[in-house]
Amino acid sequence: MALVGKKAPHFVTGAVINGEEIVDNFSLDQYIGKKHVVFFFYPKDFTFVCPTEIHAFQEKLAAFKERGAIVIGCSTDTEETHLAWLNTPKEQGGIQGVTFPLVADAAKTISLNFGVLAGEYAFSADTKQWSFNGAPIAFRGTFLIDKEGIVRHESINDLPLGRNIDEYLRLIDAQLHVEKYGEVCPANWEEGEAAMKATNEGVSDYFSNN
């Protein structure tokens, strides 16, 4: 079930912040009323595509901050594994230098509640046992959450498919424009371009000028 238009699922869990400090009570609640949040899931630490995405988010971190947004990553690894990866140099496949929070979802409940777990649990009435079908890791899910804690965008990539980080900057720009001007943003809209009023007159004005 899509989360767009709904409150982001609540959680409190361990995380690594500032690339070096483990905390055990990390929650998205701390950003309500303060920041827009780009919350993204990736499959696993110490892999191949994942560090390219994490470094790409880090390279654009200043641009997200300029827009009043914070970036947060999450996988089903533990916070200790996150920290070990953060202490591994980039040339050795690590993510040393990354400063945004990395959330630990070892119990897989966060991934499950956000609908990105790449598998599912099943209970057998015959054996009275639980089993897991699929991969016990997260798909590449990305969620744009506004200052009120409402999910405004979600996308989910399969495990081999990396993300385009610039698209999330564009989406934040669009969300900020909607919030400020009450206008809607058409296809391929970018900051500085004309938007549309959600009326027949506004649509006619837009197309007559484009």
Domain boundaries, the chain: 13-163, 164-210
Cα 115 to chain center, whole Å?
A: 12
16-59 pLDDT per residue, tens:
999 999 999 999 999 999 999 999 999 999 999 999 999 999 99
Angle formed at CA 165 by CA 190 and CA 174, multiple of 5 degrees: 30
Q: Give the mean model confidence (pLDDT) for residues 164-190.
A: 96
Rounded distance, CA 44 to CA 140, Å?
Answer: 10
11 CB-near residues (< 8 Å, 6+ apart): 27, 28, 109, 110, 113
Is residue 74 annotated as a catalytic residue, yes or no? no
Q: Give the mean model confidence (pLDDT) for residues 81-98.
A: 97
Confidence of residue 199 (pLDDT cuts 50, 70, 90): confident
pTM attached to this predicted model: 0.94
Task: Decide: helix, strand or coil at residue 58.
Answer: helix
122-149 pLDDT per residue, tens:
999 999 999 999 999 999 999 999 999 9
CB 15 within 8 A of CB 46: no
Cα 172 to chain center, whole Å?
A: 12
User: Maximum Cα–Cα distance for the chain, whole Å?
Assistant: 67
The second-level CATH assignment, the architecture, of 13-163 is 3-Layer(aba) Sandwich (3.40)
Of the candidates 38, 50, 110, 138, the residue annotated as catalytic is 50
